[in-house]
A and B are shown apart, each in its own frame.
Chain A
């Protein structure tokens, strides 16, 4: 219930943050909105010696369109920043919709996209839609900077390829020729519910035919996963009822959910298949969606 004792650092630049992390070593943790981290510390699951807060680092904030790169989302953008971003409303309302389905207004005001990614739980709501849109991320440390596809970031629950001393600085949704995307979350109430299953889909459609599609599932395996067989199956098809039925079956065969307090493995397997159909239909028929309104 109480936070353990720790040192608190509030660096004023990214370089300062990085050298603090390098010096403090394994005892230090990065703090963004704290909605995951402080909770774990209060529960006694984590007791870092020091927290390095990113809150003062304005460079990590902001959601902008940069010619030649795409939509650049600073890692410190909150869930509400994403929900209300004009840039996203124009380019990818589907991402704002995913943010809208998260937590509650209070949490959305604090929780950041960087934290949602680095926390690396399979139920996180933002990674599926970002992966469906082919997003990449940038990680920096005192020894340099690396970029990678977001889908390569996750390893297993609460584990990713991030190294000690690294900060996630931005997420980039590259310009591309995807014509639509969508995220469907299934929660057990309308607010403050984690995903029992969440599925994002994206597609490149020409003349009513799916040329390429991505199906990305949250809470369906130890980490957020794509479903390669389903994606391959969809190429060259249009979303006719029998195609969707088969899609559901393929997705159900590809996901690896477990029994949890929110649903049995069997139920979640079914949900993944159902949501995949719905997300795909939206991605094919409704582009990237309408701007998220309140």
Chain B
């Protein structure tokens, strides 16, 4: 469906582009205050240990040190981003639970002194045995990490929809495959930092955050303050990808240090500390069983998962539910069983990373589905087309799907990747292989992270008094994904104004209406809906004003391109500017307000809210790889991504999201893995040995959009930012299999693992011959 829009659908330049490319953009770490101190956190060198004593006297005596704090100086209320499991303290009280757990903090006149002061804090530990392998965490005799959670079980999920046993009984083929995921870390380019300052009872925190609102909520809660006395401001942010969703400790410690010293305090992580704080991708062990008919129709599936949660919950409860809940999105089947244990380990806590719980299960399911197709002698594309979800359907776990153009995506991907030709004998050069995988993701979570009836997004638009510009005030944080730009496009569209004349003030809890934040790919749909309402309110006020100026009824008037004109009488027109000015003179400020609350969504079972969304994106990736048989080296030769993301607001930004998601997904597929030694210390907390991809590693990418419109969303929009990470790992796995006839059952699908799989295959074949 095509819609008639002026600004939506145009690749307008980013509103922050100039600031960013010229270096004028100020990030949290660039902000300076007179008299500002610098703070750092002392962390545990042990994976699991009892704290016997902490002696801060030598650090306090060091010139330049202004304050040293430990658990004695801060509230002992447990916190965490998931209200279901508040299990973190600002500083550890009795025990440390991973290498990097927070123990104390210092504030000093300069950064260098901080590092010296940290070395002078003496902590006596009694080292305890640690749990480093999540698959053994529940075993008899394993150390207990949190007293409150027996057998180190952080959460367990057992859901069944339909009758899985019956489905398997009726199936022609029931197959089980097991896969192991990797720990990945978001690695945003900008390290976390927070600068805190007090003005009487009011605390202001500048923070590198994806959600000023949750920060404000949790900071206020921890210190027993009114939310109105906590102001959280997000300056420019250099990427989050899920890792900046929750207070890191920098905010809490900084606030206390700032209070004690009476001076602003800037706290920050270095790269190693970012890896230790983590909140990246959970490693999951995934067993998948599927029953299919002779023709390849899926009758039912069972996901049986374990998750390495690390030492704390973070967003992990949601991650755990997401892991299984999103699996039935892309394929239609009626019977579904989902079992999962999320386990505590003495490793850095895992959380939400782009695609949240979904990408690793998707890798498992998509690899497994190709195994099924191979057994049935089916083309991977055909088995997906056969099972592809259709619009206006409901998943077994009660997610209502409205728009869904998955079949169109598959069909287009098949064509533009030249799938059928390439799949023919000799259709590709030797060593090449091609794989396909699907994905889907929420366009915003149906429910907030903590229980509240507040709207999820709210905005105000204020037209400048002389009518020459308009400012959008929104709590929505642009963390690099481009929300400031698309929200201004949407606001301007609704007002009938010019994008070029929009200004934005965003992500400041004091000056902007609240917004839950940049996560679950929610801003375009949800904050977009609020922008639409606010813009339309402005337009309505303008048309009423113009109606009295032109002596024409308001419904004969329209505003487009900042011109208000009569639909019936040619030549009768006024400029936006003059009408807006008149409005201010006669009626006061010209303001539009909008807010968005999702409709009631989902089923009634335990965990049913996770995975609900007003709308779901769908997408398909086809990847062609070239494998070096002697070394296992994998070269991505080409990628084709076809997406159903509803109406496109800004094509260039959208394709940028696809490329970015693909590069992250590729990294996790083949190159990235956080590694630990046998004491729980990270072996590669740096970008030399934790290999995020470089521009040189990227293949040519063709990103295409199919025609789609989501009725429930403003202008028919849906998400793009996370959904395009979902198919990538499965795509690589399947392409490697196609190239070499070997399947690697664990992520990352590293060169060495591919080489080993090929070697074992050769040895098997030789063994058979002998």
Q: Which A residues are closer than 8 A to B by beta carbons? A: 1-2, 104, 186, 188-194, 261-264, 267, 270-271, 274
Binds A, one of B197-205, B641-649, B688-696: B688-696
- Which residues of chain B in 202-226 are interfacial with respect to chain A, using CB atoms and an 8 Å cutoff? none
Give complex CA distance A104, B687 in Å. Answer: 13
Given contacts A188-B671, A189-B671, contact A267 B694 (CB under 8 A): no
Q: Which B residues are closer than 8 A to A by beta carbons? A: 111-112, 115, 270, 630-631, 633, 671, 675, 683-684, 687-689, 691, 693-697, 750-752, 755-756
Identity of the chain A residue whose Cβ is nearest the Cβ of B752 in the assembled complex: A267
Q: Kindly identify which residue among B112, B631, B697 contacts A189, using a CB–CB cutoff of 8 Å.
A: B697
CB-CB < 8 A to B683: which residues of A? 261
Quick one: which of A186, A194, A271 has the most chain B CB within 10 A?
Answer: A271
User: Besides A189-B671, A191-B694, A261-B683, 9 other CB < 8 A contacts?
Assistant: A186-B631, A191-B695, A192-B694, A193-B691, A261-B684, A261-B689, A270-B631, A270-B755, A274-B631
Give complex CA distance A262, B675 in Å. Answer: 11
CB-CB < 8 A to B111: which residues of A? 2
Asked whether, in the complex, the Cβ of A261 is within 8 Å of the Cβ of B671, the reply is no
Give complex CA distance A266, B631 in Å. Answer: 12
Asked whether, in the complex, the Cβ of A186 is within 8 Å of the Cβ of B693, the reply is no
Give complex CA distance A1, B671 in Å. Answer: 26
Give complex CA distance A104, B688 in Å. Answer: 11
Identity of the chain B residue whose Cβ is nearest the Cβ of A267 in the assembled complex: B752
Q: Kindly identify which residue among B112, B684, B695, B752 contacts A2, using a CB–CB cutoff of 8 Å.
A: B112
Q: Kindly identify which residue among B675, B693, B694 contacts A261, using a CB–CB cutoff of 8 Å.
A: B675
Give complex CA distance A189, B671 in Å. Answer: 8
Quick one: which of B111, B630, B696 has the most chain A CB within 10 A?
Answer: B630
Asked whether, in the complex, the Cβ of A190 is within 8 Å of the Cβ of B688, the reply is no
CB-CB < 8 A to B270: which residues of A? 1
Asked whether, in the complex, the Cβ of A190 is within 8 Å of the Cβ of B752, the reply is no
Identity of the chain B residue whose Cβ is nearest the Cβ of A104 in the assembled complex: B694
Identity of the chain A residue whose Cβ is nearest the Cβ of B687 in the assembled complex: A192
Asked whether, in the complex, the Cβ of B115 is within 8 Å of the Cβ of A264, the reply is no
CB-CB < 8 A to B697: which residues of A? 189-191
Identity of the chain B residue whose Cβ is nearest the Cβ of A271 in the assembled complex: B631
CB-CB < 8 A to A274: which residues of B? 630-631
Give complex CA distance A215, B39 in Å. Answer: 53
CB-CB < 8 A to B695: which residues of A? 191
Asked whether, in the complex, the Cβ of A191 is within 8 Å of the Cβ of B696, the reply is yes
CB distance from A125 to the nearest CB of B (A): 15
Q: Kindly identify which residue among A186, A190, A262 contacts B694, using a CB–CB cutoff of 8 Å.
A: A190
Interface of B is mostly: loop
Report 17 cross-chain contacts, Cβ distance below 8 Å, ordered by A residue: A2-B111, A186-B631, A186-B633, A188-B671, A188-B691, A189-B691, A190-B696, A190-B697, A191-B696, A192-B687, A194-B688, A261-B684, A261-B689, A264-B752, A267-B752, A267-B756, A270-B755
CB-CB < 8 A to A264: which residues of B? 752
CB-CB < 8 A to B756: which residues of A? 267
Quick one: which of B684, B687, B693, B751 has the most chain A CB within 10 A?
Answer: B751
CB distance from A42 to the nearest CB of B (A): 11
CB-CB < 8 A to B751: which residues of A? 188
CB-CB < 8 A to B671: which residues of A? 188-189
Q: Kindly identify which residue among B115, B688, B693 contacts A1, using a CB–CB cutoff of 8 Å.
A: B115
CB distance from B639 to the nearest CB of A (A): 16
CB-CB < 8 A to A190: which residues of B? 694, 696-697
Give complex CA distance A264, B750 in Å. Answer: 12
**A-B pairs with lowest CB-CB distance, top 3:** A190-B696, A191-B694, A274-B630
Give complex CA distance A274, B632 in Å. Answer: 11
CB-CB < 8 A to A262: which residues of B? 689
Interface of A is mostly: loop
Give complex CA distance A274, B756 in Å. Answer: 14
Give complex CA distance A105, B128 in Å. Answer: 46
CB-CB < 8 A to B112: which residues of A? 2
Quick one: which of A192, A194, A264 has the most chain B CB within 10 A?
Answer: A192
CB-CB < 8 A to A188: which residues of B? 671, 691, 750-751
Give complex CA distance A126, B693 in Å. Answer: 24
CB distance from B317 to the nearest CB of A (A): 33
Asked whether, in the complex, the Cβ of B752 is within 8 Å of the Cβ of A189, the reply is no
CB distance from B415 to the nearest CB of A (A): 30
CB-CB < 8 A to A192: which residues of B? 687-688, 694
Given contacts A2-B111, A186-B631, A190-B697, contact A263 B752 (CB under 8 A): yes
Give complex CA distance A278, B633 in Å. Answer: 15
Identity of the chain B residue whose Cβ is nearest the Cβ of A262 in the assembled complex: B689
Asked whether, in the complex, the Cβ of B755 is within 8 Å of the Cβ of A267, the reply is yes
CB-CB < 8 A to B755: which residues of A? 267, 270
Quick one: which of A104, A186, A261 has the most chain B CB within 10 A?
Answer: A261
Identity of the chain A residue whose Cβ is nearest the Cβ of B40 in the assembled complex: A1
Give complex CA distance A264, B675 in Å. Answer: 14
Give complex CA distance A191, B755 in Å. Answer: 21
Identity of the chain A residue whose Cβ is nearest the Cβ of B111 in the assembled complex: A2
Give complex CA distance A193, B691 in Å. Answer: 8
Identity of the chain A residue whose Cβ is nearest the Cβ of B675 in the assembled complex: A261
CB-CB < 8 A to A271: which residues of B? 631
CB distance from B672 to the nearest CB of A (A): 10
Identity of the chain B residue whose Cβ is nearest the Cβ of A3 in the assembled complex: B112
CB distance from A292 to the nearest CB of B (A): 15
Identity of the chain A residue whose Cβ is nearest the Cβ of B751 in the assembled complex: A188
Give complex CA distance A267, B751 in Å. Answer: 10
CB distance from B657 to the nearest CB of A (A): 22
CB-CB < 8 A to B633: which residues of A? 186
CB-CB < 8 A to B630: which residues of A? 270, 274
Give complex CA distance A211, B200 in Å. Answer: 85
Give complex CA distance A158, B694 in Å. Answer: 29
Give complex CA distance A263, B750 in Å. Answer: 10
Given contacts A263-B752, A267-B755, A271-B631, contact A189 B688 (CB under 8 A): no
Identity of the chain B residue whose Cβ is nearest the Cβ of A193 in the assembled complex: B691
CB distance from A213 to the nearest CB of B (A): 20
CB distance from A3 to the nearest CB of B (A): 9
Quick one: which of B112, B684, B693, B752 has the most chain A CB within 10 A?
Answer: B752
Give complex CA distance A271, B675 in Å. Answer: 22
Give complex CA distance A183, B489 in Å. Answer: 53
CB distance from B533 to the nearest CB of A (A): 46
CB-CB < 8 A to B675: which residues of A? 261
Identity of the chain B residue whose Cβ is nearest the Cβ of A266 in the assembled complex: B756
Give complex CA distance A267, B752 in Å. Answer: 7
Give complex CA distance A186, B689 in Å. Answer: 15
CB distance from B277 to the nearest CB of A (A): 16
Give complex CA distance A262, B691 in Å. Answer: 11
Give complex CA distance A271, B759 in Å. Answer: 13
Identity of the chain A residue whose Cβ is nearest the Cβ of B753 in the assembled complex: A267
Give complex CA distance A194, B750 in Å. Answer: 16
Give complex CA distance A201, B559 in Å. Answer: 73
CB distance from A15 to the nearest CB of B (A): 36
Identity of the chain B residue whose Cβ is nearest the Cβ of A263 in the assembled complex: B752
CB distance from A272 to the nearest CB of B (A): 11
CB-CB < 8 A to A2: which residues of B? 111-112, 115
CB distance from A220 to the nearest CB of B (A): 14
Asked whether, in the complex, the Cβ of B693 is within 8 Å of the Cβ of A189, the reply is yes
CB-CB < 8 A to B752: which residues of A? 263-264, 267
CB-CB < 8 A to A270: which residues of B? 630-631, 755
CB-CB < 8 A to B750: which residues of A? 188
Give complex CA distance A274, B688 in Å. Answer: 25
CB distance from A257 to the nearest CB of B (A): 13
Give complex CA distance A280, B691 in Å. Answer: 30
CB distance from A95 to the nearest CB of B (A): 21
Give complex CA distance A189, B690 in Å. Answer: 11
Give complex CA distance A149, B687 in Å. Answer: 35
Identity of the chain B residue whose Cβ is nearest the Cβ of A190 in the assembled complex: B696
Give complex CA distance A98, B689 in Å. Answer: 21
CB distance from B135 to the nearest CB of A (A): 22
Give complex CA distance A264, B632 in Å. Answer: 13
CB-CB < 8 A to A1: which residues of B? 115, 270
CB-CB < 8 A to A189: which residues of B? 671, 691, 693-694, 696-697
Quick one: which of B694, B695, B750 has the most chain A CB within 10 A?
Answer: B694
